[in-house]
Amino acid sequence: MLFISMASLPKIAPVIIDHAIRIIAILVAAYVAAKIVKKSVPTIRVQIIERMKKYGRADIELEKRAETLSGILRKAVVIAIWLLAIVMALKESGFDIGPLLAGAGVLGLAVGFGAQHLVRDLFAGLFILLENQIRVNDVAVINGTGALVA
């Protein structure tokens, strides 16, 4: 364990404050970046709609597809931003992130092998969305069971 004596506290306090300020700055930057991504989604949605108008589909269809694709993009980017910020904050606080990243890689490999059907279904679902077979707010009926796509 690390014990700090009262005599060494004045020497250590600036270092602790410096790291705390950097961690707060990392988390604030991640928050701002996530907000910027969320605010830029309508712009991305408009660009998606403009590109899809070349294929001559109805406006309601385009809006549903653009909402679906922009929602997936927004969530993926926001998750990546926050994961990166957490790893950076852990590194700044003194944790060795090498074993953490190696463990995450091994866990990802194990999940990839152990859940091949889940990963295959995930990619199949992504391609269903990209091929415009099912969109947000559609009612899908599969094997007699219907549900609203959210």
**Residue 118 CA, distance from chain mean position:** 19
pLDDT of 68-118, one tens digit each? 778 888 898 999 999 999 999 988 888 888 888 888 888 888 877 777 887
How big is the chain by its Cα radius of gyration, in Å?
A: 23
Mean per-residue pLDDT over the chain, rounded = 80
* pLDDT at residue 25, as a whole number: 93
Question: What pTM does this model have?
Answer: 0.64
Give the largest CA-CA distance in the chain: 75
* Separation of alpha carbons 13 and 47, rounded Å: 50
**Residue 103 CA, distance from chain mean position:** 19
* pLDDT at residue 1, as a whole number: 45
Helix (H) / strand (E) element for 117: namely: helix 116-130
